[in-house]
Amino acid sequence: MNLGIVSCGKTMAGENIVFLLLLSCLTGNAFIALMINTLKGHLNLIGSEESSWLGIPTLADIREHLIIKLQNLSGYIEPPTDTWDLIHLMARNPAGITNLMRYYYEPNDEDRLLKRKLPSTFHANLARSIGIKPGQVIVTTNRDRLIEWGLAKIGIAPQIVKSSNVADLIPLRHATCTIIKLNGDYLDCDRPKFDRKFKIFLQKEIQQVYQPTICKCSTADRDKFCEFNF
The pLDDT tens digits for 168-182 are: 899 998 999 999 999
pLDDT at 135: 93
The lowest-confidence range among 9-18, 20-29, 43-52 is 9-18
Give a three-class secondary structure readout of the chain. Answer: CCCCCEECCEECCHHHHHHHHHHHCCCHHHHHHHHHHHHCEEEEEECCHHHHHCCCCCHHHHHHHHHHHHHHHHCCCCCCCCHHHHHHHHCCCHHHHHHHHHHHHCCCHHHHHHCCCCCCHHHHHHHHHHHHCCCEEEEECCCCCHHHHHHHCCCCCCEEECCCCCCCCCCCCCCCEEEEECCCCCCCCCCCCCCHHHHHHHHHHHHCCEEEEEECCCHHHHHHHHHCCC
Q: What is the percent of the chain with per-residue pLDDT over 90, rounded to a whole number?
A: 64
- The domain limits of the chain are 6-37, 41-54+119-227, 59-114
Query: Tens digit of pLDDT for each residue in 105-164?
Result: 999 999 999 999 999 999 999 999 999 999 999 999 999 999 999 999 999 999 999 988
